[in-house]
Amino acid sequence: METFTISIANQDLVKQQPVTLVSAKNPMPLETIFLSNIDQAVCFAVETVFFFDLPPDKSSSTLGISLRVKQAVAEVLLGPYYFMAGRLRFNKQTNRLQLLCNNAGVLFVSATSRLRLKDLGNLSLPNSTFHHFVHRPGLYKSLDETALLTIQVTRFACGGFSIGFVTNHAILDGKSASEMFENLASICRGEGLQTKVIYNDRTSLKARNPLLISYPHKEYVKLNKKSSRASCFTAPEQSSPPRLIFSKIYTHKLYSFTPEMITTLRKKAMTRCSSFEAIVAHIWRARSKAIFTNLDDLSTVLFAVDIRSKISPPLPNGFAGNAIITAFADAKVVDLIEKPFSFCVEKIKEGRERITDEYARSVIDWLEVHRGFPATCNGTFYVSAWWKLGFNELDFGYGKPAHGGPVVSGNDEFVLLLSDAKCGDSGGGINVWLGLEPEKMKRLILHIFDI
């Protein structure tokens, strides 16, 4: 399952002071951008890091990588992405967050490390101390002072390097963040922007008037005003967007599924299905066996569905905001265990097919009234498919990364599907990262590879 990893410490890196990069094309007068209810519900920081390993004969060529990335951001990227230099602002009249394009800047950091990339162990294994390879904009800054994008380039003793990003999920979802990374990489390769027009108008995802909530939306739970959850609709005095909090009583493990194992699961489904549907159905079934003792309990799995092509009219290419909503599948534990695997897969497929234009509009209207976030409680968990974002294809001019993915320490209620560095994004291998209480994890191990 796992190979060795190490803990990174402050003394392993030397970081220069952050440099503020601003956009030469920031609109005047200052623009305020509407944030949809979907945006509002995901106001938290997302940390992503990419590692690039180079042979010794080419390592000297990376001496200028920091300057190359810095210039690409300042001189080109922040033209169409000028809003990433802005700040979030809470509007007391509307009780909503807004994006103020005030050109306060993107933060850029150069760093060097005494470590070699091979000293970091298995890069596929999530390591919470990899946060040293990103620049956190500040835990105690107010919301309107916190940078929406930070970039850190770290050069290692071997000549390899990493590029770490911190973005705010309220501004970019996984697809739009991936497109921004691809644009930056293309600029660094000397090929210019891949996406010529960035669409940042989110008003097509406004709540309807009058509101029409057509479904119960049990996949969401109303926001408790005293909640400390990393969500949304925040109070004006809130500090910088909180990172997800992890329980110390949980243990976290990485389970690797080879392309052959994924193929076996898809054949076992006895119905046409994607790799995502097969692996989510399998994890849902195995996890339910591990955590539930009452077979009559209802087990629920949540997962994201992209609505760019599902709503009417479809969102344009280059849409920068959040265009994902939460889908769900649920069933009694006894049915998940005793019925054929095809039953689990069909439930996942039903959950994805449930997301229509009307359903998405109903979610947006529900969030307008109730606020809230995905209902990860009472055994319900959320599957996040990072492996589908194509991060291991990113090329800044030095070839594809050895690995790219989130900086995580494991979220108790989230299961992450990550790319397998050995297979690459196109190789079909999937790493599953999840957390459970120790006794439940022991039971999960009995079922997770029962394929």
pLDDT by residue (tens digit) across 296-336?
A: 999 999 999 999 999 999 999 999 999 999 999 999 999 99
- Per-residue pLDDT band at 234 (split at 50, 70, 90): very low
* Distance of alpha carbon 372 from alpha carbon 145, whole angstroms: 24
Residue 236's CB is within 10 A of a number of other CB atoms, namely 13
Residue 59's CB is within 10 A of a number of other CB atoms, namely 18
pLDDT at 247 over 70: no
- pLDDT reported for residue 448: 95
Residues above pLDDT 90, as percent of the chain: 72
Residues above pLDDT 70, as percent of the chain: 88
* Distance of alpha carbon 242 from alpha carbon 45, whole angstroms: 7
* Distance of alpha carbon 402 from alpha carbon 54, whole angstroms: 9
For the segment(s) 251-446, the CATH number from 3.30.559.10, 3.40.50.620, 3.20.20.70, 3.40.50.720 is: 3.30.559.10
pLDDT, the chain, mean = 88
Strand order, beta sheet including 298-306: 251-257, 430-436, 414-419, 381-385, 298-306, 324-332
* Distance of alpha carbon 289 from alpha carbon 303, whole angstroms: 19
Average pLDDT of the residues in 285-299: 96
Common-topology check for domains 20-208 and 251-446: yes
pLDDT by residue (tens digit) across 120-135?
A: 988 888 888 999 999 9
Domain extents in the chain = 20-208, 251-446
pLDDT at 375 over 90: no
Q: Does domain 20-208 have CATH number 3.10.270.10?
A: no
Distances (CA, A) of 302 to 56, 126, 310, 330: 45, 22, 18, 9
Is the distance from CB of 380 to CB of 287 less than 8 angstroms?
A: no
Question: Nearest-CA neighbor of 236 among 93, 27, 78?
Answer: 93
* Distance of alpha carbon 425 from alpha carbon 336, whole angstroms: 30
